[in-house]
Amino acid sequence: MREISRELGLLRNTVRKYLRSCAEQNRAPQSGRTQKFDPFKVYLHDRARAAHPTWLPATALLIEIRAMGYDGGLTQLRAYRGR
């Protein structure tokens, strides 16, 4: 990395960032790993569609699906809603 940065006149962090982005593009897609809330995805989708245009906070959805048996956390639920 040092040699490349010297040769191109770039900072090492810039070279590192570029190399990482290239490596991520060439990476194989992740397998279809299941998540704890997979059984609740249909419910979450239907619930959000029924409430539209009103926004439902993830904490409220968490309370609802916990009553249905979900034992996971809030972080994965928020990540799913952000897609």
pLDDT in tens, 5-39: 999 999 999 999 988 888 777 766 666 677 787 89
Residue 16: CB atoms within 10 A of its CB come to: 14
What pLDDT shows up at residue 36? 81
Tell me what pLDDT residue 66 has.
93
pLDDT band at residue 53 under the 50/70/90 scheme = confident
User: Is pLDDT at 54 greater than 80 in this prediction?
Assistant: yes
User: Does residue 1 lie in a domain region?
Assistant: no
| DSSP one-letter string for 8-26 | HT--HHHHHHHHHHHHHHH
Residues 61-83: pLDDT tens digits?
999 999 999 988 888 888 876 55
Are 82 and 58 within 8 A, CB to CB? no
Q: How many domains does the chain have?
A: 1
**Residue 64 structural domain:** 12-82
Instruction: Tell me the C-alpha distance between 68 and 45, whole Å.
Output: 15
